[in-house]
């Protein structure tokens, strides 16, 4: 900085530089996925920002990936360190601020009342922080699915299991052991087979088959050793392979086999087959020639 610059101006410039630096340290992304029950997904990194007291009209499901958060809920102080899942109930005032010098990085899913009823608010106020490694891992998997357009069935299935485990914590009941239901599993498989390209939401499947979504997922997984969304994706990839062998371009294959776009097809194709659709198609053409 120029030493001939007046001290007052240097101070102003310094303050502006610090403010700009701190602003750059705030990273925020938010979106609304096409998943029933999800109001908003919010990812953020803050170094010094502190939330004032406020309320939400939705349930706040929070995990911290770096640092820690301290907050007040119903006039009691709490903290969310790594490995803990925090569930803040709707309509109850709370705040939030960094608990470490480097701030925190968090991921939040806001859920409406269809996933957790208002009758559980009191239990959430009494115990909002849940040190549950399995729940923490499932919430992380949910966020991963919510960030991938086209994987809504997976996100819905994972959210169903997350909500079920949250209810177990809030009601303080032991989780029910998985119940075998091969007839229901077969009905769901038949429904998925009939809608490979069109797809089906878990909510719609539960309504058509007159079953609870969580029971539907567990019955299918128990019967076939694979989750419904994995089964549907396998069927789509199978169709994609046949079309690629027929010489259909990957972009067209994606649109007729139920994928969100070509990138969605490529990601799952490479995961299941080991190569991209383009390389798979090129290799088949060489063999044919």
Interval 219-240: pLDDT, tens: 999 999 999 999 999 999 999 9
Classify residue 53: in a domain, yes or no: yes
Domain CATH code at residue 43: 2.60.120.10
Task: Note down the domain range covering 198.
Answer: 182-225
Higher pLDDT, 26 or 156: 156
Tens digits of per-residue pLDDT, 93-142? Answer: 999 999 999 999 999 999 999 999 999 999 999 999 999 999 999 999 99
Domain count along the chain: 3
The answer to whether the beta carbons of residues 58 and 91 sit under 8 Å apart is no
Classify residue 1: in a domain, yes or no: no
Classify residue 13: in a domain, yes or no: no
The answer to whether the beta carbons of residues 201 and 153 sit under 8 Å apart is yes
For 38, the enclosing helix (H) or strand (E) is: strand 38-46
Distance CA 42, CA 203 (A): 23
Q: Taking 90 as the threshold, does the pLDDT of residue 207 lie above it?
A: yes
Q: Taking 80 as the threshold, does the pLDDT of residue 2 lie above it?
A: no
pLDDT above 90 as % of the chain: 80
pTM: 0.85
Classify residue 176: in a domain, yes or no: no
Distance CA 43, CA 30 (A): 6
Domain CATH code at residue 265: 1.10.10.60
| Same domain (yes/no): 94, 146 | yes
Distance CA 101, CA 97 (A): 11
């Amino acid at each position: 900085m120029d030493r001939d610059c007046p001290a007052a101006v240097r101070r102003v410039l310094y303050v502006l530089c610090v403010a700009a630096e701190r602003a750059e340290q705030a990273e925020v992304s938010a979106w609304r996925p096409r998943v029933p029950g999800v109001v908003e997904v919010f990812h953020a990194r803050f170094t010094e920002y502190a939330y004032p007291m406020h309320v939400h009209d939705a349930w706040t499901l929070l995990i911290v990936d770096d640092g820690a958060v301290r907050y007040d809920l119903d006039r009691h102080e709490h903290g969310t360190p790594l490995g803990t899942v925090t569930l803040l109930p709707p309509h109850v005032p709370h705040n939030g601020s960094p608990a470490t010098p480097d701030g925190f990085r968090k991921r939040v899913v806001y859920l409406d009342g269809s996933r957790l009823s208002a009758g559980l608010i009191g239990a959430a106020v009494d115990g909002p922080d849940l040190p549950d490694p399995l729940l923490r891992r499932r919430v992380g998997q949910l966020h991963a699915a919510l960030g991938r357009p086209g994987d809504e069935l997976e996100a819905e299935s994972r959210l169903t299991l997350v909500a079920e485990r949250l209810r177990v914590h809030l009601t303080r009941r032991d989780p029910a052991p998985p119940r075998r239901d091969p007839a229901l599993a077969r009905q769901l498989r038949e429904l998925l087979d009939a809608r490979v390209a069109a797809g089906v939401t878990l909510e719609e499947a539960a309504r058509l088959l007159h079953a609870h979504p969580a029971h539907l997922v567990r019955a299918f997984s128990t019967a076939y050793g694979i989750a419904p969304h994995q089964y549907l994706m396998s069927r789509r990839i199978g169709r994609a392979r046949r079309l690629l062998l027929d010489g259909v371009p990957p972009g067209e294959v994606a649109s007729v086999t139920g994928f969100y776009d070509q990138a969605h097809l490529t990601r799952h194709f490479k995961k299941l087959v080991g190569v991209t659709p383009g390389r798979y198609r090129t290799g088949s053409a060489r063999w044919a020639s």
